[in-house]
Structure 1
Amino acid sequence: MIAVIGLATSCATGPVGTRPPPTAAVTAAPPARQQTAGGQRTVDPLDEIGDQEVAQAPSGAVFDGGQASESLTPVAVSAQLEAVVQNADRVWTGYLQSVGLREPFVSYQIIAPGYQFSSTCLAQPVTSDHPNAYYCPSDGDQTYSGGIILPVNTFMRMWNGSVFGQRSAQVGDFAAATLVAHEFGHHVQDEIREQGGLPDIARLDSYGRSVKIKEKELIADCFAGVWANTAYYAGYLTDTDKEEAVAALEAIGDSGIGGNDPHGTPAERKYAFELGYEYAPAMCINTYWPGVQAN
């Protein structure tokens, strides 16, 4: 389940749930989390996850790689981004429920031109031109855990091969879809970790502090590949879409060690996406989640 709590807000203090004119406000009443009898899971998620595959993507995704970014409008791009988020939500809801877990509860912000959003994870508000996208685990409330932040102008540029300021070898819309699926993949990590009582994907430094490792990003790439496979079998992908996805991830791979925010080299990011595309989510977990094995 997704909270549509503000596809774009006019300012940091503006009303939540407001889109840019002339689109009407879109809000969603917070649904209750679904639980098994007695409020407790009746299965061990890692015992059940096994080789369980994600169901094919249902209707809802919209891809149109035939348009150049100059002919697109922010409204059209916003609609495509929203379609991917909603589709990923349905796909991962089906998967998580199939292994005995609750559906994902995440909010998302699609930031249109002239609007901005203040995230608890960032020092400055995000505008439509912000050169990155984010999943913030602390954006949410008592019902929705985490938020996805998608700046429209930044995603529009991906249609012409500019991925977060880096040139991609392939031009097309599926790069944008893949990066949206990557951010949703971070939330899937959080849901599995929280509901399964699993360790975070991190390591401890010499002071006992949690330090980010590249596997946290690579598992999100892998989950994006899982989702892309469902889109393929649902008939949404063109002949070049998979190549667009891989090229986009390669374009933003680490050229060096990765510093405090490692994401993996171009080759590692390509491998992670293709691993998820070819295999079930358990393969992503077993490959990139230290200390965790899905049976």
Structure 2
Amino acid sequence: MRLDDERESSNVDDQRGSGGGGGGTPLRIGGLGGLILVLGALYFGVDPKVVLNLLNNAPSSSAPASQKNHTQVAANDPEKRFIARVLGSTEDVWTAYFQQMGRTYHDPRLVLFTGGVQSACGYAQTSVGPFYCPADQKVYLDLGFFQDLKNRLGASGDFAQAYVVAHEIGHHVQNELGIMKQVDRNSGMSVRGAAGSSVRTELQADCFAGVWAKRANDARNILQTGDVEEGMNAASAVGDDRLERKAQGYVVPDSFTHGTSAQRVSWFRRGLESGDINRCDTFSAPSL
């Protein structure tokens, strides 16, 4: 990715090494409704039970990071600067897009943490992965997840990482547009399952990530050879079917929360090719 000329967002809160690894109210995924739809983004593509299975079978790559002293995190940390530039790009794209729609986009904040973090949606440990909390309009990210994405899930590259951030920002866009409240009120739609509201919500966030990439590239020419392939590979790597098969050897569609690898790739591609959020209506789509 070409990000050297991109501005760094000032909306990054660096809480790494601040001792957030202890106690607190557990992050809960019960209650159905709006909270599960957003926290369905946990681990960016897998049911939390599957995550726990994966984590129990492999050492956590983010454990060393959680032991860093906060003073050792330099202000010019390249990982933080990369995230800040991606976030800045999403802010520019969505601000301009919302203006075209006659609306105002409110920038979210992105919290970097290690070990654990307290959000307005509850307490979360690193093992839950990146997530968006609508109650405080913040994205939470442990950078150790990117090592898991590369080493354990086989999705490497800077654009794969940008896709993760853009997906979570996609949930914020849903929140800004009132989509999450609409889904929460639609009690007639099942939350879980292959065609449930959680899958539709997550696939739309994938599509919104593609919309960002398309518009950012049109405006600033940020994509390089191989970037699109990295994004597609990341989308495929975090499909429910692939993760369940990896964790337990078989697939249970009724437990899906994010969609299959093929679906995630398809909806990300749709946003990337169109740059139009109107092409991201997963809730009206008869087939995902």
* Amino acid across the alignment from 2:85: A
In structure 2, stretches of 5+ residues that fail to align are 1-8, 23-68, 242-250
* Map of 1:254 onto structure 2: 240
1:54-69 equivalence runs, <5 A: none
* Map of 1:266 onto structure 2: 261
Distance 2:256 2:209 in 1: 19
Pairwise CA distance, 1:93: 0.8
* Map of 1:241 onto structure 2: 227
Secondary structure of the structure 1 residue equivalent to 2:111: strand
Contact 1:246 1:273 in 2 (8 A): yes
Pairwise CA distance, 1:283: 3.1
Distance 1:11 1:284 in 2: 43
Relative to the length of structure 2, the TM-score reads 0.64
* Map of 1:51 onto structure 2: none
Pairwise CA distance, 1:201: 6.7
Pairwise CA distance, 1:236: 1.6
* Amino acid across the alignment from 1:90: D
Secondary structure of the structure 2 residue equivalent to 1:124: strand
Aligned partner of 2:283 among 267, 285, 289: 289
* Amino acid across the alignment from 1:200: V
Pairwise CA distance, 1:280: 3.4
Secondary structure of the structure 2 residue equivalent to 1:6: strand
Q: 1:261 to 1:104 in 2, by over 3 A?
A: farther
Secondary structure of the structure 1 residue equivalent to 2:112: strand
Q: 1:155 to 1:99 in 2, by over 3 A?
A: same
Structure number with larger C-alpha Rg = 1
Contact 2:203 2:264 in 1 (8 A): yes
* Map of 2:112 onto structure 1: 110
Q: 1:5 to 1:276 in 2, by over 3 A?
A: closer
Pairwise CA distance, 1:23: 5.9
Q: 1:4 to 1:260 in 2, by over 3 A?
A: farther
* Amino acid across the alignment from 2:283: W
Report the structure, 1 or 2, having the larger helix content. 2
Aligned length: 216
Contact 1:201 1:215 in 2 (8 A): no
Secondary structure of the structure 2 residue equivalent to 1:243: helix
Aligned partner of 1:137 among 126, 134, 137: 134
* Map of 2:176 onto structure 1: 191
Secondary structure of the structure 2 residue equivalent to 1:204: coil
Contact 1:202 1:213 in 2 (8 A): no
Aligned partner of 1:11 among 19, 28, 37: 19
Cα RMSD, aligned residues only = 3.2
Relative to the length of structure 1, the TM-score reads 0.63
Distance 1:21 1:252 in 2: 34
Aligned partner of 2:102 among 97, 100, 103: 100
In structure 1, stretches of 5+ residues that fail to align are 26-73, 141-145
Q: 1:257 to 1:137 in 2, by over 3 A?
A: farther
1:147 is aligned to 2:154: no
1:176-255 equivalence runs, <5 A: 176-193=161-178, 199-200=182-183, 203-204=186-187, 212-233=197-218, 234-255=220-241
* Map of 1:174 onto structure 2: 159
Secondary structure of the structure 1 residue equivalent to 2:240: coil
Q: 1:200 to 1:241 in 2, by over 3 A?
A: same
Distance 2:278 2:215 in 1: 16
Contact 2:208 2:277 in 1 (8 A): no
Secondary structure of the structure 1 residue equivalent to 2:208: helix
Distance 1:156 1:86 in 2: 23
Distance 1:242 1:202 in 2: 36
Contact 2:21 2:117 in 1 (8 A): no
Distance 2:162 2:139 in 1: 13
Secondary structure of the structure 1 residue equivalent to 2:119: coil
Contact 2:132 2:168 in 1 (8 A): yes
Distance 2:132 2:256 in 1: 14
